[in-house]
Amino acid sequence: MMGRSLYLKIISAVVVFGSWEIGGRSGVSFAFPPFSESMVAFWVLVADGTMFKAYAETLKPLVVGIIISGILGIILGIWIGLSEKFDWLISPIFIVMQSAPLAALIPLLIMAYGIGLTSKVFVVCIMAMPVIVLNTSAAVKNTPTNIKEMAKAYQAKYSDIIIKVILPASSPIIFAGLRLGVSAGFIGAILSELKITPTGVGDIISFSRSIADYPSMYAAIFSIILLAVLFLNILERTEKILFKGSNQGYVSD
């Protein structure tokens, strides 16, 4: 099964990048270079250290935002799942955050927190936290009633039911929500660099576009996709190891 999955991923990559190469060489647009030219630019950016310096900046708001979103999001999600009143009070906020156009909120963040790291962390949190909170709350709410009733029948305390029954039963979906939140956080980190201040990988994209160096621009975009795929695959592998044998699906599917 593992070999088949890898085989399909390789085929998918060949189809996507092959189409990119063909599209770039067909002359669709001068702003759409072939995949091979973008890869040459990618290795140039890696070799001269530009890419590493860029990600040193990009990862700051991403890591801080993901840590805040993960810890606070899981705590709030559990609380929402356990309390109907808290659910009624808080859930609409995260539903609105998930559906609201983020680009329209960025000017408000700049006015409130400036153009530094704080605003960028907020953008990452706005993207990542609703996914984590809503998946966590749904996982807690959907804990099978029969195992909770069984725990009550054995006179388990409410705290024991939460720690020993609800959390273990809902943890696979909570982890899946965390993985989806990380994916959304990547989008938020790059968007903040493009909309707030051009730093990190966002700076490479903006500067390359301004001087019509499109291979470098697409190389930076490719690096974002590559890093996100690698990071999410690590989380997926960790999830399979931790919750081996679990057949629960994702709430967001």
Domains of the chain: 52-86+93-242 (1.10.3720.10)
The pTM (predicted TM-score) of the whole model is 0.77
The one-letter code for the residue type at 191 is: L
Token pair listed for 24: 């770039």
Q: Which tokens hold the place of 69?
A: 């979103």
How confident is the model over 152-196, as pLDDT tens digits? 777 777 777 777 888 888 888 888 888 888 888 888 888 888 888
**Among the listed residues 59, 115, 249, 182, the one whose alpha carbon sits nearest the alpha carbon of residue 51:** 59
Nearest-angstrom CA–CA distance, 217 and 213 = 6
Q: Find out whether 134 and 177 touch, Cβ atoms under 8 Å.
A: yes
Residue 148 phi, psi (nearest 5): -70, -40
| pLDDT tens readout for residues 24-74 | 888 777 788 888 889 999 999 999 888 898 888 888 888 999 999 999 999
The angle at the Cα of 67, spanning 207 to 245, to the nearest 5 degrees, equals 115
